[in-house]
Structure 1
Amino acid sequence: MAQNDAYLGRWPQHLPGVPVYHMHQSLDRLLWLAQNYETVALGGGIGYEVLKSRGWWQRIREMMDVITDEHGRPLCRLHGLRMLDPKVFTVLPLTSGDSTNVARNSGQVAWFTGTTAKTRGDRACLIADRIEAYDSARSWRRNGRQISLFGSFPSVAQAA
């Protein structure tokens, strides 16, 4: 964290920056970033490498409860790193997100059998279109159960 703080200290103040909050860092740090930057990127961290695991969802709940107001609206814009799975971004109030999904998976020819996606570019567009078919949640529901197109937000006991 000291290295991240040093980067923030060296960042030119006249340029808008987007700091990354790593999930293993303190919730106080997350709140400070949300109160001091227009956008905060949410990334994985030590112990939270497995997206959608029980521990990952629990930490997401803790994070959202810290950086959203009483109506579930984020204190700043949120950018999700590796969060373009619709089962994730449809329950989180993200402004934006990115992933290596398209670059990694557009080369998997067998996955696209039966589609019109013949070239890697076609397959990349198909993946992007599938992601773009869904919207991010408008707000965070603090009651512990977020509703999505895929059913209920997993409780700690349900998350795999």
Structure 2
Amino acid sequence: MAMALLENGAKMARRFLRRAATDARGDVIGLLMQHTNSAESCNLVRAMVARMEPPLSTTELNDYLYEACAQTHPGMAQIFLEAGAQRSAAAPASSIRGLGWPAGSTLQTVAQRSWDAVPLGPRQYRRKWWRRHRRLMGLLGFQHGTRHHAHSSRVQRPML
């Protein structure tokens, strides 16, 4: 099935991209980004982005980059940056999921908001998300920050 997607994935993804504006189900790349963080999904998206006809515009790549930051998905963010997305891009009018971005959003604030939303559960869970967040911030060219409210009594920095 993965090979069939790779063979026809670019055409199929482009068709779903065109439909995404009117169809709440979203597009193939957006669905892969939301539901998995595997190397296989990254390879599939990388192949689809490379073979897409016509190629994704810079605006579309920037939209996907913002969504990758919102999903704390460094693998996908790297794919979109390599394909031509801009680190300095302004936030799109709406997200791929049809939601609006808060006023003044940047890639850094979207990634930070995503990290702040991580529940403070088991230690291993925090470590996994902390590593993903640090990698994402590094890809975007920002310092590997901590939670901006790390000194409050409710939230503590992750133990590494």
Normalising by structure 2, we get a TM-score of 0.35
Larger Rg computed on CA atoms: 1
Is the strand fraction higher in 1 or 2? 1
Which fold has the larger relative contact order, with Cα–Cα distance below 8 Å and residues 6 or more apart in sequence? 1
Is the helix fraction higher in 1 or 2? 2
Normalising by structure 1, we get a TM-score of 0.35
